[in-house]
Structure 1
Amino acid sequence: MNQSDPRDAVLLTAPDGASATIALHGGHVLSWKPAGAAEQLYLSARSEYAPGKAIRGGVPVCFPQFAERGPLPKHGFARTLPWKLVQQEQGKDDALAVLRLRDSDATRAIWPHAFELELSVRVGGRSIDIELACDNTGDAPLQFTAALHTYLRVADLDAVSVEGLAGLRYFDSIKQAEALQRMDLLLTGEKGVRDLDRIYFGVKERPLLVAEDRRQVIVRQQGFEDAVIWNPGPERCAKLADMPPEGWSEMLCVEAACVGRPVELPAGESWVGRQSLSLA
C-alpha cells in the first residue's frame, strides 16, 4: 500500500455487508454504504486525486484551521497530506480502520506544533462512526479549530429538511452576520436558502435529523461544540472546478465542528471528537 498515492484507499466491509472506503490521502472517507442500502455520501466525479489537492466530497478532515478563519491554507493541511494506516480489522458486527498523521517539517513550517492525529472509522449495520483524536506531543500548549466536513448525498435538495437546529444562534458566512434559527431548516429551493454557509454554535450532543421523503439520516456528535450546514447553490457551484454544475443539487454538508471556540490543548493532553451517522 502506497500512502503517497492519492488514489490508494482502504476498503472496510462488515460481516453484514455494510462498507466504507477511506483514502490514505487526507484520511478521507470516500464512501459509506449501510447494510442493504445505497451510497449515503456525495463524492464529486470531478474530484482531483493529486498530491497537495483536497478531494471534493465524502468526509474531509479540516485541521488545524476551519475555512479561512486564520493564516493557514483553507481548512488546514490534514486533508491534503498522506496518512498512514495503523490498524484494520473486522469484528463480529462491524469493521474498523485507524489512520494516523503526525507533524513533519512541512507542517511545522506553517504551524509550529508537535501533534499526532488519529482517525478511527467504524462501520456496521446502518451506522458509521468517524472519530478524530488529537494528541499534543510537544512541550507547549496548542490550539486549533476542526471539522468533519461530511457531504451527505441527496436525491432532491428541495425535499430535504434538517431538524434539531431550532433555538440555536448561527453565523451566516455569506451575509457575514449572526442570526437565530427559529424553526427547522427547510431547503425549499428559494434563493438565499440553497446558498447556505452557516456555523451553528452550541450544538454539542443534540442529534440532528436530515430528512428527505422517506429517507432519514440521524447525525450525532461528541466533542465537537458546533455544526456547519453548507451547500454552494448553483452560482457558487458553477465556479468550483472540481464539482459538476449540478453537483449542488445532489449534496448537503452537515459537519461536526469546533469553530466558535478553538480547542485549547495543553502539552501532553488529548482531545477527541466524533460524528456518528445512522440511516433510520
Structure 2
Amino acid sequence: MWTIDDNPPPPPSNDSGPKSFVDLLLKSSEAVVKYWPHSFEFRLRVSLTTDGGLTLTSRVRNTNDKPFSFSFSYHTYLLVSDISEIRIEGLETLDYLDNLSNKERFTEQGALTFESEVNPVVDRVYLSSTDAISVIDHQKRRTCVIRKKGLPDVAVWNPWDKKSKSMVDFGNQEYKQMLCADGAVVEKPVNLKPGEEWNGKIQFTLVPSSFCTDGLNLDKRGF
C-alpha cells in the first residue's frame, strides 16, 4: 500500500513553473517480501502543470544489507481515438526484443503503426532509445510527447482482439482505444548496492498533431 510521503525531497534546482504534486511512498513489507525478497523504499512524485503536463518521478533506494537488481517499467496506458490511427515516431532504426517471438531481436525499419493484418498484436521492448518519442493520434489531431530520463528502453504493447478477450479485466473492444508506450529499464537491469538510489523520470505533454519527433525541443530545463 502506498502512503503519503511526509518527508519528500525538495524539487530539483532546475524545476520551474507552476505545478501541483503529491509524493507517495512504498516500503517493503511482509506481504511484498513474499514476492520480492529485498528491503527497499520506492518514492513516487506525481506532478501536474497548469497546461496539463504530467510528470512521474521515481526514486528506488536499497535499504537491504545486500545488493539487488531490478528491471522497471511505468506501464502507462494512453487513451487514443483508434489504435489503427496511431503512429509512434522516435523508434526508427532501433533494435527491439519481440516478446511474441521468445524475445528475439529485430530492428525497426520506420515509424511504428498498428495496421498489420498478419499479426497486429504488438509486445516489444525497444532498446537504447532517445530521450523523447511522440505518439501521434491522427483522428484526435494531437500528439503525446513522451520525454524520459534514466529509462533507456521503451516498452510498447497492444493486445488486440484475441488477447483482450482472454483478459478478465479488459473489455473485448477496449484494445482499440488504448496503447502502452512505457519508459523502461529492461535490457540492462539496475544494480543497487546497500544505501544506493536509482532515479527515473517520465513526462507527458500534449501538442498539436503536426508535431513530430524531428521537431522536439530536447531542452532539459525543468525536466
TM-score bin, normalised by smaller chain:
0.7 to 0.9
- Which 5+ residue runs of structure 2 have no aligned equivalent? 9-15, 208-223
After TM superposition, give the deviation of residue 106 of structure 1 in Å. 2.0
Q: Summarize deviations over 1:27-86 as a string: whole Å, max 9, x none.
A: xxxxxxxxxxxxxxxxxxxxxxxxxxxxxxxxxxxxxxxxxxxxxxxxxxxxxxx11012
The residue number in structure 2 matching 1:86 is 5
Q: Is the 8 A contact 1:158 1:189 kept in 2?
A: no
C-alpha distance in 2 between matches for 1:92 and 1:174: 42
Residue of structure 1 aligned with 2:180, choices 253, 257, 266: 253
**How many residues in Structure 1 have an aligned counterpart in Structure 2?**
195
SS of residue in 2 equivalent to 1:174: helix
Matches within 5 A, 1:131-142: 131-142=57-68
Does residue 149 in structure 1 map to residue 75 in structure 2?
Answer: yes
Distance in 1 (alpha carbons) for counterparts of 2:110 and 2:151: 22
Does structure 1 residue 240 correspond to structure 2 residue 167?
yes
Which residue number corresponds to residue 89 of structure 2?
A: 163
Residue 116 (structure 1) aligns with: 41
2:47, 2:56 within 8 Å by CA — same for their partners in 1? yes
**Cα offsets for 1:181-234 (capped at 9, x unmatched):** 011102225342x3000011111x431110011110001111112110000010
Matched to 1:233, the amino acid is W
Deviation at 1:240, TM superposition (A): 0.6
Q: Cα RMSD between the aligned structures?
A: 1.6
Which consecutive unaligned segments of at least 5 residues does structure 1 have? 1-81
Conserved 8 A contact 2:131-2:149: no
Identity of aligned residues (%): 29
Misfit runs of 4+, over 4 Å: none
TM-score (norm 1): 0.67
Letter in 1 for 2:94: L
TM-superposed CA distance for 1:92, in Å, is: 7.2
